[in-house]
Amino acid sequence: MSHPLLKQICELDIFTLLVFKSIFDTGHANTTAKTLGVSAPKISRSLNALRLAFNDELFYRRQQGLKPTPLAESLYVAICQFTDSVHHLEQSALQNQNTASNTDLPLNIAASKGLLSFLAPQLCSPEVMAQLGKIHLRPWQENSAELIHAGELDFGISLENIENKELMLTRLGGISSVYLVASKHHSIWQSASQISLEQICRYPFLCIEMKGFNNKIDPLELFCQRQGIILPSIEKVLEREEWYAHILTMQSLAFCSSIDMQTIKHLPGLKLVPLPTTELARLHDGMFAPQYFLVEKPRTHRRYTPAQCELVISSLVSALLPEHS
């Protein structure tokens, strides 16, 4: 370490190298401060330390943000390799810590309406719990994104496309199939085997309101507007229990997704029939089907491993096929 440059590089801490990578990736010191959860002056001090160590400006201030110098371009790959190695070291340590204390620190996960009853049976097997420990499933609420950012929730699965630059969103997929639901004794079952949307629109319709999907207008409402059809009635409820009672006692029709079907098919008195593919395409012609997103903190701030997260969402992703990409 007799070479002066090597000595100065060795005196740089890991955080300073993370600052270099983040500024290179984002082009903005303020974004780097938010991503790393520190103050802007600390980012400035780290940038000054980098410039001193390499005797180079490293980043020029331009109208579009901070632009790397030729030397910064040449350093980027090596610094990424180093910070990635540190990340792998962190993940290995966290995995061992989680294995040792998973009974005391459950994973806290928020999931959109309808997912709790689907996920819980998938995650309660001895094999899964041996790898994950206890899991506290919570309903997704308006402040869930803020709770993930604050560390009170580990991650979430949401129907909403969260607009938060400090969180990471990964599209998991959309609903692959839809089922028509009604009482076993409903007269619609006397119709032809291939049920059309026009037939469905002859009866009172019921839906569960889901923020980020049908809280403004339901796809069947939009279909009727486009086709000039007047529904006898359409009602929205917030809870599955009320939805179930309404279908049985008010003789309403309803839709449920391939996710909901796993639970609803066990409710007594109901009949479920898949909506034909052609009718599903017509239903969603003017409106996207529900899309699920994985909501996480930046990976340097997570206390779970990618393998643990994958274990939680794998059953959901499988149920969303074939639309998963």
> pTM to 2 decimals?
0.58
Q: Show the low-confidence residues of the chain (pLDDT under 70).
A: 1-5, 90-104, 192, 212, 286-288, 321-325
Instruction: Find out whether 50 and 19 touch, Cβ atoms under 8 Å.
Output: yes
Q: Report the length, in residues, of the chain.
A: 325
Decide the pairing of beta strands 107-111 and 234-237.
unpaired
The pLDDT, as a whole number, for residue 148 is 93
Q: Look at residues 188, 176, 196 and name the one whose alpha carbon lies nearest to residue 253.
A: 188
Decide the pairing of beta strands 65-68 and 59-62.
antiparallel
The pLDDT, as a whole number, for residue 95 is 59
The pLDDT, as a whole number, for residue 205 is 96
The pLDDT, as a whole number, for residue 111 is 92
User: Which residues 6+ apart lie within 8 Å of 198 measured at CB?
Assistant: 227, 229
Phi and psi, residue 179, nearest 5°: -115, 140
User: Which residues 6+ apart lie within 8 Å of 95 measured at CB?
Assistant: 305, 307
The pLDDT, as a whole number, for residue 316 is 84
**Residue reference for tokens 């740089």:** 12
The DSSP output letter for 200 is: H
The pLDDT, as a whole number, for residue 324 is 37
Q: How far apart are CA 180 and CA 200, in angstroms?
A: 9
